[in-house]
Amino acid sequence: MKMTVEYSTHPSVACNTLNANDVVDSKTTKVINKAILAKLPPCCQVTTIAGTNGSSCKKMAKSDQRMGGSSFRHMLPIALCLFSFAVVFTVLLLYMDTDQIRHQQFRLNMSRDYELNNVAQDNPELVEFLREFHMKKHPMHFLKKEPFAEHLNFTERHEQTPVMAQYISNLVGSKLNGAYIQTMTGSTSNLLTGPWLTETLSWSGTVLEPEPRRYFSLRKQNVHRPKVQIVHACVSPNEHPKEVTIHNEDDVRINSLLDEETLWFSRVKCFPLYTIMLAVNRVEYDLLSLGVHGQELDILKTLPFDKVKIEIISIHLTENIENIREYSQSISKFLSEKSYRLQKTIGFNYIYQKVNASRQKKKAV
């Protein structure tokens, strides 16, 4: 049996084949000593198939060449990994920038007032909208089953509240079935005299509260008083409605820019006071109470006093109002022009009463 000896000079190069005359038989193979065999590379093969031309050895050599290759092939996976990381990181940066821009735009929109300048305060559609969507009574039957827990002796309220409630009652001669409208936000909310007047003199009233938590708290407290209506809205300091942002903190702040320390804020619609009166179907009131942190005078200026009739106006200010003395004097001056007189001052609470023509004549005499 004949044998063909194939060898390669280098592992990465195809094995060279001996000349055809180099074919030896089994006897000649014994001549090849161990030293020559030791010098042959690993890829050299000794085949027992006659006439083999060494094609299998060449195929293996080509395979070795592909696997060996240049250094670029070794660096390709690393390059692909770095490229993928760069793409993902770039996309992440673009997303974060876009998200930050959207967040800033959202904060800007939430701190911006939306003024409906073209809507008059006596617009019938506005009045109907307020009546149907903000003043529609939703019964809270699940709370009516609970025992009545509201304290009318004012043990949990401001110490000045019972004094004011009793004084207002005396001014109107303990009138029964009167009417009031009150908006007391923030720290002035504990000065509400309406519940006492409702429970004692059977008055009916409308209380406006812009802060959501206090709104539900007031609804819960007055669930057993069907004559008291709690409205989730604020009073606009203009003669047109608007939408503003309020900060839900210890003191409700309206129309102030958002800051990083604000944890909770909400949007609320504000309606002119005259619009609210029209929605209630009443323009004659025995008591109007305003405590809106420096916007009392602006709200009073929106009222058409020739179309409404209010017996008593109580103004409730806070200590943090700048130049509170000058501000209270400006309110007194404005109300005096509308025939109102300051009757009593209790702390920062000012109670005015309408001076009738008959009273003025008696005093003149």
What is the band of 15 on the pLDDT scale with cuts at 50, 70, 90?
very low
Report yes or no on 94 lying in a domain.
no
* pLDDT score at 113: 66
Please tell me whether residues 218 and 269 are part of one structural domain.
Answer: yes
Please tell me whether residues 57 and 156 are part of one structural domain.
Answer: no
pLDDT at 49 over 80: no
% of the chain with per-residue pLDDT over 70: 62
* pLDDT score at 255: 45
Cα(324)–Cα(297) distance, rounded to whole angstroms? 12
Please tell me whether residues 123 and 181 are part of one structural domain.
Answer: yes
Q: Are 167 and 289 spatial neighbours (Cβ–Cβ below 8 Å)? A: no
Report yes or no on 43 lying in a domain.
yes
Report yes or no on 99 lying in a domain.
no
Give the mean model confidence (pLDDT) for residues 85-99: 80
Report yes or no on 82 lying in a domain.
no
Please tell me whether residues 35 and 158 are part of one structural domain.
Answer: no
Please tell me whether residues 218 and 347 are part of one structural domain.
Answer: yes
pLDDT digits (tens, 9 = 90+) for 124-150: 999 999 998 888 776 665 555 555 545
Report yes or no on 97 lying in a domain.
no
* pLDDT score at 70: 66
* pLDDT score at 112: 64
Domain that holds residue 299: 111-364
What is the band of 246 on the pLDDT scale with cuts at 50, 70, 90?
confident
* pLDDT score at 350: 95
pLDDT at 268 over 50: yes
- Indicate which CATH number applies to the domain containing 117: 3.40.50.150
Please tell me whether residues 64 and 144 are part of one structural domain.
Answer: no
Least confident of 73-77, 161-165, 208-212, 216-220: 73-77
Please tell me whether residues 54 and 119 are part of one structural domain.
Answer: no
Beta strands 179-184 and 204-208 are parallel
Q: What backbone phi and psi angles, to 5 degrees, belong to 343?
A: -95, -35
Please tell me whether residues 39 and 130 are part of one structural domain.
Answer: no
Q: Find, among 288, 271, 289, the residue nearest to 279 by Cα.
A: 271
Please tell me whether residues 254 and 345 are part of one structural domain.
Answer: yes
Report yes or no on 354 lying in a domain.
yes
Please tell me whether residues 278 and 360 are part of one structural domain.
Answer: yes
pLDDT at 61 over 50: no
Return mean pLDDT, the chain.
75
* pLDDT score at 243: 87
- Number of continuous H segments (helices) and E segments (strands) in the chain: 12, 15
pLDDT at 56 over 80: no
Please tell me whether residues 62 and 128 are part of one structural domain.
Answer: no
Q: Find, among 137, 114, 168, 128, the residue nearest to 288 by Cα.
A: 168
Cα(41)–Cα(16) distance, rounded to whole angstroms? 11
pLDDT digits (tens, 9 = 90+) for 158-204: 567 888 899 999 999 999 999 999 998 776 777 888 888 998 899 99
Higher-pLDDT residue of 184 and 19 is: 184
The structural domain count of the chain equals 2
Rg (CA), the chain: 46
Q: Is the dihedral of CA 93, 99, 103, 109 positive or negative?
A: positive
Please tell me whether residues 254 and 324 are part of one structural domain.
Answer: yes
Q: In angstroms, what CA-CA distances link 299 with 7, 200, 219, 288?
A: 106, 29, 25, 12
Report yes or no on 342 lying in a domain.
yes
Higher-pLDDT residue of 251 and 245 is: 245
Domain final position from 17, 49, 68? 68
Report yes or no on 80 lying in a domain.
no
